[in-house]
Amino acid sequence: MIEETEARRRILEAVDPGPVETVPLGEATGRFSGREIFASVDLPRFDNSAMDGYAVRAVDAGTGAFLRILEEQPAGTDRGLAVDPGGAVRIFTGAPLPAGADAVVMQEDVRADAASGRIEILDGVQPGENIRRRGSDVCASQRLLDPGDRVNAVRTGLLASQGIVKVEVFAKPRIAVVTTGDELVPPGTERIEAGQIFNSNGPMLAALAAEFGGSPRQFHAIDEAESLRAVLAEALADADAVIVAGGVSVGDRDLVKAELRNLGVREEFWRVRVRPGKPFVFGMAGRVPVFGLPGNPVSAWMTFMLFVAPALCRMRGENRERLATGLPLPRIEALAAERFENTGDRPHYLRCRLESDGRVRRVGAQESHALHGLSRAGVLVRLEPGEVREPGDAIRGYRL
Ligand code: AMP
Ligand code: MG
């Protein structure tokens, strides 16, 4: 049995970033940048007005001053105008700032008199007011994205604002999800016999694999050596990573380890000191990582988050050292709403919720089959063996 951090470190050392491909920006959304991306243009691209109003010299535009309206500068074209002393240029949001102007008076803060062609300043401005300076958001050559950063909607917009139309993203790793067990039937099966259950790990692990950037394909094997071997061989033939769920424990029907070995998979370690998730097994089939997850649904989810998710993040270029330190989830520090104690000899992850007063309380059944409890959790608390937290004590965990 090895420690959780040691297990993750060894997995991260065994997997490497995968290949990248170039796709149109619209298809990059939701995927992961394959390289660093640098800005090529300043944003804003030119000094411009943040308001509809009048471009002025602040020194001329104190409260009560009268200014001559010179010309009009709309957005979308630079008329090359200038503001002379005592003058004001009518301007609109996003329009280039005329030479000589160093502030914009909002139109709400002037009284315009069409007959005299003048404005009266009702509320004076300071230099720089209502002006968006060139490069104040982004400077050309500034780094915008790191390898492994998700191209979310905002970043899609950011890249578009640079005029970018193609993006290098990591190719989606092909992930084989193999569930095992005689008792399992696919959801949708009309007649479910006594003793059978619906396969929930297959859909859950496929969803997780997709969430972490992979392209999943599901397989199922019964607990019989030869057919299991055949399914595992098929899964291994065409995958960048293989996840097997169930059959990795010590029961007579737990055949996964033996059949992986028969297929030439090199077992790196088996069993990790963590609860839930102890029977986790990790091996390598050449360069292809193989993750054996316990079948209990919460254990399967937990070991995916502890060991598979960091590996998938690494396969898309994320920094190995950063991933080694914990789960790829946002951390949270909060106060305990009730007493927590880990009386066991393994670190324990507990499914909790964050209450409206910011305190953390266990939610639902904590057993490793209890998927509903997990589904209601918003916080995952980690307790070391022997650790006790009294109500009101600080408590650490992850945000789900
Ligand atoms: P195992 O690790 O194969 O001993 O399975 C442990 C428990 O998880 C058993 O109660 C199984 O029925 C259950 N289980 C295994 N695989 C799945 C699955 N794909 N979906 C739902 N439950 C499963
Ligand atoms: Mg089983």
pLDDT tens, position by position, 222-231 = 999 999 999 9
Query: What is the strand order of the sheet 288-293 is part of?
Result: 215-221, 174-180, 241-245, 288-293, 281-285, 266-270
The segment(s) of the chain belonging to CATH 3.40.980.10 are 2-16+172-323
pLDDT value at residue 317: 86
| pTM for this model (two decimals) | 0.89
Contact 270, 261 (CB under 8 A): no
Q: Which residues contact 386 (CB under 8 A, 6 or more apart)?
A: 342, 343
367 Cα–ligand 1 center, Å: 13
Residue nearest to atom 5 of ligand 1 (CA): 295
CA distances (Å), 388 to each of 203, 254, 380, in order? 36, 35, 16
The segment(s) of the chain belonging to CATH 2.40.340.10 are 331-399
The segment(s) of the chain belonging to CATH 3.90.105.10 are 21-42+146-170
255 Cα–ligand 2 center, Å: 9
DSSP state of 152: -
pLDDT value at residue 231: 98
DSSP state of 109: G
Q: What is the pLDDT of residues 228-268, one digit of tens each?
A: 999 999 999 999 999 999 999 888 888 999 999 999 999 99
For the chain, list residues with pLDDT below 50: none
| Token digits of residue 359 | 């305190």
CATH of 2-16+172-323, one of 2.40.10.170, 3.40.190.10, 3.40.980.10, 3.30.1300.10: 3.40.980.10
| Token digits of residue 161 | 């604002």
CATH architecture of 48-132: Beta Complex (2.170)
How many other CB atoms are found less than 10 A from the CB of residue 336? 20
How many other CB atoms are found less than 10 A from the CB of residue 252? 6
Q: Which residue shows structure tokens 């640098």?
A: 38
How many whole angstroms separate alpha carbon 208 and alpha carbon 391?
33
Specify the fold of 21-42+146-170.
Molybdopterin biosynthesis moea protein, domain 2 (3.90.105)
Q: Residue 309 phi/psi, 5° resolution?
A: -60, -45
| Token digits of residue 383 | 């307790």
Report whether residue 181 contacts ligand 1, using a CB cutoff of 6 Å. Answer: yes
pLDDT value at residue 253: 84
Residue 384 carries which side chain, given as an amino acid letter?
E
How far is Cα of residue 335 from the mean position of the Cα atoms in its chain? 25
370 Cα–ligand 1 center, Å: 12
DSSP state of 364: S
Report whether residue 368 contacts ligand 1, using a CB cutoff of 6 Å. Answer: no
Please state whether beta strands 37-38 and 340-341 pair in parallel, antiparallel, or not at all (unpaired).
unpaired
Report whether residue 201 contacts ligand 1, using a CB cutoff of 6 Å. Answer: yes
Ligand number with the minimum distance to the CA of 185: 1
pLDDT value at residue 252: 86
pLDDT value at residue 251: 86
CATH of 331-399, one of 3.10.180.10, 3.40.50.720, 2.40.340.10, 3.50.50.60: 2.40.340.10
Closest atom of ligand 1 to CA, residue 220: 19
How many whole angstroms separate alpha carbon 206 and alpha carbon 44?
42
Strand pairing partners for 175?
216, 241
The segment(s) of the chain belonging to CATH 2.170.190.11 are 48-132
Mean pLDDT computed over every residue of the chain: 96
How far is Cα of residue 63 from the mean position of the Cα atoms in its chain? 49
